[in-house]
Each structure stands twice: as C-alpha cells, then as structure tokens.
Structure 1
Amino acid sequence: SLGDRFAEAFAEHLHERIRKEFWGYQADEQLSNEELIKEKYVGIRPAPGYPACPEHSEKASLFDWLDTTDKIGTQLTSSFAMWPPSSVSGFYYANPQSEYFNVGKIALDQLEDYAKRKNWTLDEAKRWLAPNLDDSVS
C-alpha cells in the first residue's frame, strides 16, 4: 500500500516537473493543493486501465519503448498487470484543451475497427475490452 502511494505521488511530482521544467509549458504555475486535487493544471496523464484508456495492452508498447524491464526491473504479466505492484505507467499530454474523459460503451463496428488496427481477432478484442462493450455486442 505504501509503495502504491509513493508511486502515485512520484507520478504527480513528475507531471509537475514536466509542466514547469522539462517541457516548461507552465513554468510559472502556482497551484494550491486543492487546485492540484481538482486537476486545475494544464495537460493530463491518463494511464492504461483507467477510464480514458480502458485497454491495458498498450503498456506493452510503453515497456518496449522505454526498455523498462532491463532499465528498472518492471515487468508485465500475461494480463498486462505491472510487477512490482507499486508500479505506474501512463501518458502525458500537454495540450491545454486536453481533458480526462471516459470511453463509453463500444459498439460492434468500433470493436471491429479496433481489432483490425491492433491486428487482433474479434474475440481477442472482446476479451480485452469486455467491460466497455455495448450490450448488443456478443
């Protein structure tokens, strides 16, 4: 539990450094703790598995790009859970118009298109997106 809190705190700290220092698009940002909690900062940091990115397999691309297993020892399970459990991953978007959102229910035509783009069978896409499938998708 403590490791999870440290990982999330570091992700928040890194996001602040990205805004102010590394990318510098909000160099003069001065937000209160309450404003940070309400996500009043510019940009977002969604992560695979959260409502804006419900499908976890994109973590494999992140892990490959960053070579995380060799560099820091993090690994992915066959279900794309991260090990050690107190690991976090995500994407940073700096656009001032970016907002957190929820992916709604996915219809069959969307599922078919996604499966095609991922080079998956329809059954594989159904497996990974099951919680988000429209009731009409069987």
Structure 2
Amino acid sequence: IMVRALADRLAEAFAERLHEIARREWYAPEESRSEDELIGEQFRGIRPAYGYPACPDHSEKLTLLTLLGAERAGVGMTESFATTPAASVSGLYFGHPQARYFSVGRVGKDQVVDYAQRKGFDVAEVERWLRVNLSYEP
C-alpha cells in the first residue's frame, strides 16, 4: 500500500513539474511564484484531467493516449478507462491568462443523445460514464 501511495504521489509531482516547465518555456516565461502561490495554484494556466469535474468523461482518455502513443511508454487503459499502471497521470494544458477551472453541470437527455451520436457510442454507455452529471434518471 505504501509503495502504491508513493508511486501515485511521485506521478502527481512529476505532472506538476511538467506543468511548471510548460508554463516557463511555452506561455509564462516571466512568471515567478513563491511556493505558497504555486500550492495555491496562483499561476497562469490550468491542467484539467479527464474524469474530473471539468472533463467528466473518462472515455476521452483513450483519445488522448492514442494521440500521444502512450503505449510506447508502457501506459495502457482498462475497459473502464482507468490508466495502467495505476500511477499514471494524464491531462491537458491550457495556458490562456483567463483559463480557470470549472465543473460541468447537469446535462439533459438531448445533450447526452447528441454527445453519444458525435462519439459513436450508445446512449446507455454515455449515460453510464456521465451518470453523476445527468439531470434525469436513465
């Protein structure tokens, strides 16, 4: 249990370090923040991840990992869209100065049907993945 917990923390720390490098080299080279400001996420840009409130659909991780060729790094995905190994982190970088975290609210049946059609998924499958965001009972 301790090894897994340590691996998870190291993966998250590395993801934060990569985000810092991206900010400094790509979109916020002038930025200089204290440790407290960094911990409080008082910097330019965000790093949302699939499965979290801003991107609740875990299935989009498949698209991201495919585009990145993640299998070459030994990163895969289970049938329930969990990444393997367990201490794997994926996400997106948005460097716009006004980028802020947000939560996707409740979605209606019409939105689910439209989303399912665009993704090529069954409505029931999309309802399963977005269950906590549904404004109705499937």
TM-score normalised over the length of structure 2: 0.93
Unmatched 5+ stretches in structure 2: none
Partner of 1:61: 63
Give me the whole-angstrom Cα distance separating, in 2, the residues matched to 1:96 and 1:44: 9
- 1:37: how far off? 1.7
- 1:133: how far off? 0.7
Give me the whole-angstrom Cα distance separating, in 1, the residues matched to 2:35 and 2:87: 23
AA matched with 2:51: G
AA matched with 1:62: L
- 1:72: how far off? 1.0
Unmatched 5+ stretches in structure 1: none
Give me the whole-angstrom Cα distance separating, in 2, the residues matched to 1:92 and 1:122: 29
Partner of 1:8: 12
AA matched with 1:114: Y
Q: 3-state SS of the aligned residue for 2:96?
A: coil
Partner of 1:32: 34
Give me the whole-angstrom Cα distance separating, in 1, the residues matched to 2:126 and 2:87: 27
Render the CA deviation track for 1:48-98: whole Å, top value 9, x for unaligned: 0111011101111111111111x2101100001011110000011111111
Partner of 2:118: 117
Partner of 1:92: 93
Q: Which consecutive segments of 4 or more residues in structure 1 shift more than 2 A? A: none
Give me the whole-angstrom Cα distance separating, in 2, the residues matched to 1:120 and 1:68: 23
- Counterpart contact for 1:75–1:83, Cα < 8 Å: yes
- Counterpart contact for 1:52–1:101, Cα < 8 Å: yes
TM-score normalised over the length of structure 1: 0.93
Give me the whole-angstrom Cα distance separating, in 2, the residues matched to 1:107 and 1:82: 28
AA matched with 1:46: P
CA RMSD of aligned residues (A): 1.0
